C-alpha cells in the first residue's frame, strides 16, 4: 500500500476509535439488538428491591426530571418535586438536569426511588422570610417602639449571641458544602479544628441549631412580637426538617443508631 494510503487508513482508524471511545464514555453505546436507541428504565423500591414501575421508550437525551414526570404519570402518588432517584440504594441522588445518557451504559437502566416528603419551594421560603422581615421592620422603626426593658444589659449579650450563631451557621454550611462534593452519603460530616463545627459531635443538623439560636437571640434583643412569633414558627419547622433528615440518614446507615447524636437540640431532640 502506498504511504499516503497507509496514513489515510491510519487516520481513519484513529478517528473511528476516538469516536467509539467518546460514545462509550457517554454511556450511549447500547447493545446492537436495540436498534431504536431508546432506554427502558426500571424503577425499584429501595426497601424491598421490587419493581415499582417500568418506563419504556425513554430517549437517552432525556433528563432525570423528564423521567420523574413520566414516573408521575404512571404513578400519580409520586410527585416529581418529592421524588429522589438513585443509581444504588445508598448512592447520591441524581440531579434533575442530569442526562440519562451520562448514567445509562445499557438499554436497561435501574434506579431506586425514594419519597423525599413534602418539599417547600424557594418562592414560599423567600415570601416567608421577607414577610416577617417587613413586619419586624415596621415594629422597630415605628415611632411608638419601646426599647428592651433592660436596655444595654439585654441588647449587648443578645447581639453577641446572634453574631456567634450566624458565624456558626456559616461555618457549618461551608463544611456541608465540602462534604457534599465528596458525594458520600454514608458518612456524616465530622468536626474539625474550627470550634463552630464541634457541634457535629452532638447533633446531626447543627445548621438548624445555629439558625434557631440566632432568631431566639434576635427576639430577645429586639423584644418584639413579630420576631418572637417568627422564632417560634421557625423552630417548629427546623425541628421537623432535622428529624426528617436524621431519619433518612439512619435508614441509609445500618450502624448509625449506635450514635447518640440528636437531631437539633443536644441531649434532648
pLDDT for 158: 95
What is the model's pTM? 0.64
What's phi and psi for 42, nearest 5 deg? -105, 120
pLDDT for 257: 54
pLDDT for 24: 43
pLDDT for 20: 42
pLDDT for 33: 38
pLDDT tens across the length of the chain (269 residues) = 454 444 444 444 444 444 344 334 344 444 433 445 788 999 998 888 889 989 988 988 899 999 999 999 988 888 888 888 988 887 788 888 888 888 888 888 999 998 877 766 667 778 878 888 888 888 888 888 888 889 889 999 999 999 999 999 999 999 988 887 666 666 778 888 999 999 988 898 999 999 999 999 999 998 988 888 889 988 998 898 888 888 777 776 665 555 577 888 888 88
pLDDT for 132: 82
pLDDT for 69: 92
**Of how many residues is the chain composed?**
269
Amino acid at each position: 500500500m502506498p504511504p499516503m494510503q497507509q496514513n489515510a487508513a491510519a487516520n481513519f482508524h484513529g478517528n473511528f476509535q476516538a469516536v467509539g471511545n467518546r460514545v462509550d464514555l457517554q454511556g450511549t453505546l447500547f447493545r446492537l439488538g436495540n436498534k431504536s436507541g431508546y432506554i427502558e428504565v426500571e424503577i425499584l423500591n429501595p426497601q424491598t428491591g421490587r419493581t415499582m414501575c417500568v418506563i419504556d421508550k425513554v430517549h437517552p437525551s432525556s433528563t432525570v426530571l423528564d423521567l420523574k414526570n413520566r414516573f408521575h404519570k404512571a404513578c400519580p402518588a409520586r410527585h416529581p418535586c418529592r421524588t429522589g432517584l438513585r443509581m444504588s440504594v445508598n448512592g447520591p441522588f441524581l440531579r434533575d438536569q442530569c442526562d440519562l445518557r451520562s448514567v445509562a451504559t445499557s438499554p436497561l437502566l435501574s434506579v431506586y426511588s425514594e419519597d423525599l416528603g413534602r418539599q417547600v419551594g424557594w418562592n414560599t421560603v423567600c415570601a416567608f422570610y421577607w414577610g416577617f422581615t417587613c413586619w419586624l421592620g415596621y415594629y422597630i422603626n415605628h415611632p411608638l417602639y419601646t426599647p428592651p426593658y433592660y436596655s444595654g444589659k439585654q441588647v449587648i449579650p443578645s447581639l453577641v449571641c446572634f453574631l456567634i450563631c450566624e458565624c456558626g451557621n456559616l461555618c457549618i454550611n461551608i463544611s456541608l458544602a465540602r462534604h457534599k462534593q465528596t458525594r458520600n452519603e454514608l458518612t456524616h460530616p465530622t468536626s474539625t479544628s474550627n470550634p463552630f463545627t464541634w457541634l457535629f459531635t452532638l447533633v446531626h443538623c447543627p445548621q438548624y441549631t445555629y439558625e434557631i439560636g440566632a432568631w431566639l437571640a434576635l427576639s430577645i434583643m429586639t423584644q418584639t412580637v413579630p420576631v418572637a412569633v417568627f422564632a417560634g414558627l421557625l423552630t417548629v419547622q427546623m425541628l421537623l426538617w432535622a428529624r426528617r433528615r436524621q431519619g433518612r440518614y439512619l435508614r441509609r446507615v445500618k450502624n448509625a443508631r449506635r450514635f447518640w447524636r440528636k437531631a437539633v437540640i443536644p441531649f434532648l431532640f
